[in-house]
Chain A
Amino acid sequence: MQPAKDHTAIQDDDALLAAFATGAPDAARQLAATHLPRVYAVALRMLGNQAEAEDVAQDAMLRLWNIAPKWEPGRAQLGTWLYRVTSNLATDRLRSRNQSRPAKDGAMEALEDMTPGVEQQMMHTERDNALHRAIDRLPARQKLAITLRHFEELSQPETAVAMDTTIEAVESLLARGRRALAAMLQPDLHQNRTALKARVK
């Protein structure tokens, strides 16, 4: 992301939110068009379930509408604030899901819950499919760090703000997440390396 672009985005979002608070009819539509797809994508990647992701996305946007009159322009980036709200809501859902169904593999179940349309949109190849399944098995914080850094393409400082933590903690979560992914995908990676070596020979 370009810093100048970010600055413009902050100003635009702040102006739109101020307009929303004073009753401007089109401000909500513009804010939702920009932020709802991001919010929904993070919720879906975190939860792996369309219905739950919809609920979380709607709830996160509702919090945005309610905070509009109290929003302080320039103090925070709206997009990052929304990522934080969304990730907190999704993490709460994951926790309550784990508490209510501790014996089951929530991640696999969540993947089964996904509608074929969404699954096809998100996982174009078998390789992607395996990677997504592995990401879904990561602990919530590692999954969130990987999602924000690699799918939403936030910088590490932005990821740290969105996760309400330090840059060092994000680096650590990303490193542990990648190691865990490597371990889960080891047979697959081994197969790739063998294929690469065969091609070089």
Chain B
Amino acid sequence: MTEDDDIMNRLDAVNKTRPNLPDGLMARVLADATAAQLALNPQPNVVAFAHPRPALGWLASAAIAASALFGIALGYSGPDILGNFSGIAEIVVGSSTALPSGIDELGALNAFLAEG
């Protein structure tokens, strides 16, 4: 028997059982697989947060600034300033600046109630 035959025999006879996998290796490999799969197939229910459209952002900022300036002016001048803006009083306070009209309406209501 030659040395080469000896070595061949020993290599053939040697225990070829594969080592057991260490604890946790399979779990780590499967976690990598899940991450790779998610990267390949993003879930449809995962959505990105939508940023507001820039044009609307500017518009909103301008409206807030205008409201603030108008509020300051109203504070300094009182409600009389509303008379300078035709129709704005109805928008701001929800009633007309023509004070007597309310009295007429109240008188008509009282007359109606008195007649039964």
Contact = CB atoms under 8 A, between A and B. Distances in A.
A26 to B, nearest CB: 11
Interface in A167-201: 178-179, 181-182, 185-186, 189, 192-193, 196
B15 A124 contact: yes
Nearest to A62: B32
A148 interface: no
Contacts of B18: 37-38, 40-41
A121 B18 CA distance: 8
6 pairs of A and B residues whose beta carbons are closest in the complex: A28-B33, A65-B36, A23-B41, A182-B3, A41-B18, A150-B11
A54 B32 contact: no
A189 B6 contact: yes
A166 interface: no
If over half of A's interface residues share one DSSP class (helix, strand or loop), that class is named, otherwise mixed; here it is: helix
Contacts of B33: 20, 28, 32, 61, 65
A80 B37 CA distance: 23
Contacts of A40: 18-19, 21-22, 25
B10 A28 contact: no
Interface in B16-53: 16-22, 25-26, 28-30, 32-34, 36-37, 40-41
A57 interface: yes
Given A57-B25, A58-B25, 5 more contacts: A36-B26, A121-B19, A123-B15, A150-B11, A151-B16
Contact of B40 (A23, A125, A146): A23
Interface of B: 1, 3-4, 6-8, 10-12, 14-22, 25-26, 28-30, 32-34, 36-37, 40-41
B10 A131 contact: yes
Interface of A: 20-23, 28-29, 32, 36-38, 40-41, 44, 50, 54, 57-58, 61-62, 65-66, 68-69, 117-118, 121-125, 127-128, 131-132, 146, 150-151, 153, 178-179, 181-182, 185-186, 189, 192-193, 196
A38 B29 CA distance: 14
B14 A131 contact: yes
Contacts of B26: 32, 36
Given A68-B36, A153-B16, A146 B21 contact: no
A185 to B, nearest CB: 7
A37 B29 CA distance: 12
A142 B20 CA distance: 25
A182 B20 CA distance: 29
